[in-house]
């Protein structure tokens, strides 16, 4: 299995509902380092799994939709606790159609909250 990873970051604001979140129930900010790993068993005709520049550009474009925004105010997140896991899935689901038909068969999105904690989501294409 081949793998290619690109990295970017995104800054958001949000709040959570539920006692489990403690003080994070209040509005707060988060800066995530976002890694996306593209996987596939074969290379395309050009000898690559995915063009790294294109992968980086597509990730930047997806993240631009939420960068420096309060997710509590965004319609598509209404009624959701925008946990790290939920945001990872959101990123993956927006990237996946952009790579349909490529040699990529799976992508994994990892959001790093800090140097000691991260969460992710993996999905097939």
Per-residue pLDDT at 18 exceeds 90: yes
pLDDT band at residue 24 using 50, 70 and 90 as cut-offs: confident
Checking DSSP bridges between strand 28-40 and strand 2-14, what pairing results, if any? antiparallel
**pTM for the structure as a whole:** 0.95
Determine contact, residues 14/70, Cβ cutoff 8 Å: yes
Q: What is the model's pLDDT at position 87? A: 98
Q: What is the model's pLDDT at position 102? A: 86
Percent of the chain with pLDDT over 90: 94
pLDDT band at residue 101 using 50, 70 and 90 as cut-offs: confident
pLDDT band at residue 81 using 50, 70 and 90 as cut-offs: very high
Task: Give pairs for 104-109: CB < 8 Å, separation 24+.
Answer: 104/38, 104/39, 104/40, 104/49, 104/50, 105/39, 105/40, 105/41, 106/38, 106/39, 106/40, 107/36, 107/37, 107/38, 107/39, 108/36, 108/37, 108/39, 109/34, 109/35, 109/36
Residue 118: which CATH number? 3.30.479.10
pLDDT band at residue 78 using 50, 70 and 90 as cut-offs: very high
Compute the CA torsion angle 41, 57, 123, 75 (nearest 10 deg).
-170
Number of domains in the chain: 1
Kindly report, residue by residue over 39-75, the tens digit of the pLDDT. 999 999 999 999 999 999 999 999 999 999 999 999 9
Q: Give the C-alpha separation, 118 to 31, whole Å.
A: 12
Domain that holds residue 45: 2-124
């Amino acid at each position: 299995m081949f793998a290619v990873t690109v990295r970017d970051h995104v800054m958001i604001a949000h709040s959570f509902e539920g006692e489990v979140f403690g003080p994070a129930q209040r509005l707060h900010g988060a800066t995530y380092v976002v890694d996306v790993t593209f996987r596939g068993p074969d290379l395309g005709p050009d000898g690559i799994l995915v063009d790294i520049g294109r992968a980086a550009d597509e990730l930047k474009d997806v993240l631009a939709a939420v960068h420096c925004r309060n997710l509590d105010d965004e319609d598509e997140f209404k009624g959701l606790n925008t946990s790290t896991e939920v945001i990872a899935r959101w990123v993956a689901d927006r990237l996946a159609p952009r790579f349909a038909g490529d040699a990529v068969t799976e992508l994994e999105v990892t959001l790093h909250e800090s140097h000691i904690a991260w969460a992710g989501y993996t999905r097939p294409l």
